Structures are given as structure tokens and as C-alpha cells.
Amino acid sequence: MMKPIPVVFLSLVLISVSLVGLAASYPPGQDWTNYVRIGAYGLQLNNTDKIVASAQDSNVFGIEVDNDIPGRYESFVNPEEKLKAIHDVAEKAHRAGNRAFVYIAGTECITANADATPHTLAKEHPDWLQRKITGEPAIFGGGSAFWIRKGDEDVWVSPYASEWRKTYMQRVRQIAGTGIDGIYVDIPYWMTHFDGWEDTWASFDDYTVAAFKKETGLDAKKDLKLGDFSDPNFRKWVEFRIRTFTDFMHEIDANAKAVNPEIKTIPEIYPGIEEQAVRVGADVYSLYGVVDAIAHEYSFGSGGMASARKPLVWFEYQVGMHSFRAFAQGKATWILNYSWDGDKKVDKTEAMMNLAMSEIMAGANFWDAPGHSMAGSNDLPTRKKIFSWIQAHEKTFYLPRDPVHPVGVYFSPDTRNIYADEFIRSYRGILVLLMQKHWEFQVVTPRNLADFKGETLVLPDVRMLHDQEKDWLRKFVEKGRTLAITGADATQLGEAPNVLQFPKDPGTDYMSALESDFERADPDSQAEFLKRLKNTSEIEVTASPMVATSIAAVEGKPHIFFANFAGLRGRVNPVQTPQTGVRVRMAKAGKGKAFFLPFLGDVQEVSGVHESDGRTSYALPTITKGAVFWYEDGDAK
């Protein structure tokens, strides 16, 4: 029998919190999470005034505070003191016209000085722990990760441990009752990311095995070929593990909103579009449907630190962020990336600016943090400068972006889940190609497929499609629109004039060229593929392929977002080669006005030249790090 845990109940009636200055008006479908400029702070009851004052001083809007109730065993059992601190900082943030959200762990729980006390989670509740198939529990000590101190016990709990989950959700309701604006759930994962656990496909604890058996009739310990994606039973295990944490986050959201309907749930997730999402079970595509925003601690390969990124990695990050924005369907995308960690050859302020520029041009929110720590800044004056500029132009970057005449590129979650490496190479290759050609593109998913209005849709080595997807694609083709199938063909559509087949996948081919020699990779090497895509955009951009562009309408006005990565050298040079000669030609520019906003600069009007073919051509000023160009017709207000 489990030892009962004493539960300290707070009233589920919302604590009254001053909301002075918080009556901001946002467009339909948006809220404060879409406009945050984030800084993070360690929270104690005696430092709430200092936190809010520091945030205001550096123009932070969206204060992350960390006092982690369920992730520390002592406060998991007795949360009262930490709840008071959360209430206090929420009240003071609101009085200052700010918003605050509080960090809690997902399935991780640490007991401090565990070697000196009998009261640890593992000692009192060993059946709650995630386990390898061999039975080894997910217990770790100091040195297993940088945040685990010597003598601490770090454990990872099964989300199916019913008594733990009951208390966890009670803590969520209590936190919501403090008046805090958001609950930030850090890495709700299956333990597969510490040394020795990467290939376990955990967890095989009794609770999880029983839940899988109830759902599928299969014994997870006996009926699966672990790691074998050709095994149908293992595929069910993969889907079950992803669904588990989607349901877990949905339950957190429901419990929090039962107390405070306005509170936001924001998971922090480091896997993005790649195979890691399948392994840890936290898939941002699935999660966006059940939460209010996602904070992406997005990292892959060796590109975690902005100061170390090569141009190709910068482009790959753009692919990731544009994918997240498509998954979000208007919800906010926060990026908790890191700019600099003591690199002696790279100026930290340049690295910070590069990171911020790359994120806001993709429509994501910038979170400033030093090294691999959430709290603090590499340079507070630079943070203040960046945040002040973002605030001054926040509508340009964070109002909804609507497609105009895009080429669609399909993200297939099912294909990624089973054929991750092959699919992501093709998907990335196509999107980087379109960015370098400066074509308008749109990431299309099963959730927004029915809303896609473009004339051409690319399926990048998509190998798995549900009947509903196939039916939509059939109707898409019957309407005379173009479907470009690269690599594998899962559509079963057969031959048709507007069904283009590219068995030698141009996405994979171009990705290989980029990896071999990024600067010499030529987008025109895929000229035949591009020609057959039928680009119908009325906007033509001439710029170097070292510049990533994205095109969208903001409040009905065509916008082009430029991110310049020319000249960047990881750990060597963080200063871009300025781009001159960038030109925009528009088919329907009449008597309206065009504008140019350089990163950290001021808006300036750009004059156009009417050409003989009826287009209007605009020669843009020099682009250093990044810029936005937009056009307002004569009737714009």
C-alpha cells in the first residue's frame, strides 16, 4: 500500500489579484502570450518586488518565475510557502501592467540532500518510477545533468502512477488559484534522454504496461520489437507514448482552467520536428492542439548555441520555427534558445541580436537567457534595446500572418513518427530551397489541410496517409490544382497531368548538396522541379540565397521578412555580410506606399519604379541582419 501524502488544500475560488493595466485589446484568436518578451527569475517570497522591478527595467513583458512545486519532493508534499510566493509575484506583476507565469516540472522530481533523509520520492514510492524493460528505475544523482546537485535524488515518474497524478493535478489547481497568468510545464517526457536511456523506449513500469494492455490488448514487455519500426505492435507503442503526454498536458490545462479560465498552459519542449519528438513522446504538433502556447527549447545536432551556428543550421532553424507556427494555428510560439556561453571569438551582443532577429522574422517570441540557464541575460543593455524595439514594432511581427499565393509543403506527422530521418531530410530540403529562391511557402498539416488555398502542394517523401488525407488530396487534384510528389508516393492517385512525380527526391538531393557545401549549393540545380511547381505569387524577390525570406499578408498588406545569414561562421564570425541590391517586384502595386524596417532600425518609406510590364519595382536599402518590407495600397488606413 502506498504511503498517503498529506495534501494542503487551498480554496479553489480565485484569489483576488489586481489587474490594473492588463486590459489590453488583442485581435481575435490572440492574447498576451502572442506578444511576450521573456525574461526569467528565481522566485522566493522575499524577492517578488525585485523580480518585477528588474523585469520592468529591461522591458520584459512575460515574467517567468521558478519555484517548482511538483518537481521538488518537499513542496510536492507541502506547497504552502511556494504558493504564497506565486500569489505575491502575480499580484505585483499585475500592478505593474505585466504578466507572470510559473515553472513546474513535468514528470521529473528532485529530493534535495536525499542521502540524509528517509523521505524521498523513490524511497517512499518506488512503484511510481519510470523503468527500463529490464526493470531498472529512473533514479539519478548529482552529475547526471547539470541541474542535479551532489547528494540529490532525481527521479522520473510514470504519468500513469495514479496517486502521483491525483496529487499533481491538485497542485496544478492550487497554483491556478494564486492568480498567476500561466503554468509553464518543463519537459513532460518519457525518460529517454539521459545517458544509458536513449534506446530504452521507456517506460515499462507496471502502471504504464497496464494502461497499454488496456488500450491495445498487448503486453509491452513481450509483444514488441523495441526500436523496430516495421513491427506494427511497436508502432502502436510509439503512438501510445505520444498520446500519453498529449493527454497529460490536456489534463493539466483542464485542471488549471477549472479554477481560472484565463490561465495559460505552456509546456517547454526541446524536440522539434525531428525523431527526438517520437523518442521522448512530446510531439509539439500534437501538443499545440491542447495547450495555449509552447516554449521551444529547440536544439538539434551541434546548433544549440547561436554563437556556434553555421548558415545551414540557421536555415534549418527557420524551417523548424515556420513549422511550429503552422502547428500553432495562431497560438504563440516561444523560443527558449541560447545565444552565447563564453565564446571568446564571438561578441555576445552580436550573437544575441542574431538569435532575436532569426526568431522574430519567423513570427516567434524571443526569450533572452545566458548559456544554458533560463534566468538572467548575457547582456542586459542589449536585452533592453532588443525588447524595446520589438515592443515598438510588435504588430508587424506578431499580428496574424496570412498566406497569399503560397506553394504548400506538407508536414506529415505519421510519416515523421515512423520514417523520421528520411522524411525530415526531404521536408527540410524543399523548404530551404523555397526560402533561398524567395518564393512564398506555407507549411501544411493535417489540421490546416482543408484551409489550404494555394495552387500547388508538395508531398516531401510522405509515406503514410490516412484515408481522410487521401480523400482531400484526390479532391485537390480534381479541382485542377497541382500535387508534387517527391520520393515515395502514398496517395494512390495514379497518373494525372497535375500529379507530378519526382521519384528522385529533389528535397533529399538538395539537402545533400547543402550539407556538402552550403555556400556553393545552387537553388537553380532544382530548376526543373521549381519550374513544374507553378509559382503563382504576385511578388518577386531578388536576393542572395544566403538570405531566408518568408512572405505573408499582415492585416491584408503584403509583407516580406528577410533574415540574412551571409558571412556567418560558427564560433568565428557573428557579423553578417551586408546585402545590397535586394529588389522586390510587385504585380499590383498602384498608388500605395512601400516601407522598409531594418532590424533595430526605424521605418523608412521606399520609392517604387513602374516597369513596362505593369509591375512596380522597389530597390531596398542595405540589409545587415534582417528587415521587413511591406506595401500598403492607397486605401490603407
Q: What is the CATH superfamily name and number for domain 405-533?
A: Response regulator (3.40.50.2300)
Please give the model's pTM, rounded to 2 decimal places. Answer: 0.95
Backbone angles phi, psi at 259, to 5 degrees: -95, -45
Q: What pLDDT shows up at residue 23?
A: 59
Same fold, 32-112+158-197+205-398 and 539-632: no
DSSP strand pairing (139-140 vs 293-296): unpaired
Say which DSSP state 444 is in: E
Would you say residue 611 has pLDDT above 50?
yes
E-strand ranges in 347-496 read 365-366, 401-402, 407-410, 441-444, 456-460, 482-486
Q: Residue 93: enclosing H or E segment and its boundaries?
A: helix 80-95
pLDDT of residue 14: 40
Cell numbers 497535375: residue: 498
Grid cell locating 400: 496574424
Tens-place pLDDT, residues 4-58: 333 333 333 344 444 444 657 899 999 999 999 999 999 999 999 999 999 999 9
Reported as a pLDDT band with limits 50, 70 and 90, residue 302 is low
Q: How many CA atoms lie within 13 A of 454 on its CB side?
A: 32
Percentage of the chain beyond pLDDT 70 is 95
**pLDDT, tens digit (0-9, with 9 covering 90-100), for 407-455:** 999 999 999 999 999 999 999 999 999 999 999 999 999 999 999 999 9
pLDDT tens-digit series, residues 537-569: 999 999 999 999 999 999 999 999 999 999 999
Q: What pLDDT band is residue 303 in, cutting at 50, 70 and 90? A: low
Residue 259 has pLDDT above 70, yes or no: yes
Residues in the chain: 637
- Beta-sheet strands, E only, within 197-311: 264-269, 293-296
Tell me 116's DSSP state.
G
What span, in angstroms and rounded, lies between the C-alpha atoms of 596 and 621?
A: 8
Helix (H, G, I), strand (E, B) or coil at 50: helix
pLDDT attached to residue 635: 56
- Using one digit for the tens of pLDDT, what is the confidence trace for 495-542? 999 999 999 999 999 999 999 999 999 999 999 999 999 898 999 999
Q: Which CATH superfamily is domain 539-632 in?
A: Golgi alpha-mannosidase II (2.60.40.1180)
Q: Where are the domains of the chain?
A: 32-112+158-197+205-398, 405-533, 539-632
Mean pLDDT score, 183-195: 96
Decide if 266 contacts 295 (C-beta within 8 A).
yes
User: Quick one: pLDDT at residue 483?
Assistant: 98
CATH superfamily of 32-112+158-197+205-398: Glycosidases (3.20.20.80)
pLDDT at 637 over 70: no
Residue 293 gets the label, from left (phi > 0), alpha (psi -120 to 50) or beta, of: beta
**DSSP H or E run through 173:** helix 162-176
If one counts every other C-beta atom within 10 angstroms of the C-beta of residue 89, the result is 29
- The model's confidence at residue 373, banded by pLDDT at 50, 70 and 90, is confident
Closest CA to 283 of 173, 188, 425, 386: 188
Please give the pLDDT value at position 135.
98
Of 141, 52, 34, 122, which is closest to residue 90 (Cα–Cα)?
Answer: 52
Q: Which residue has the higher pLDDT, 109 or 304?
A: 109
| Continuous H helices in 404-526 | 413-418, 420-437, 467-478, 506-516
Mean pLDDT of the chain: 94
Q: What is the mean pLDDT of residues 114-142?
A: 97
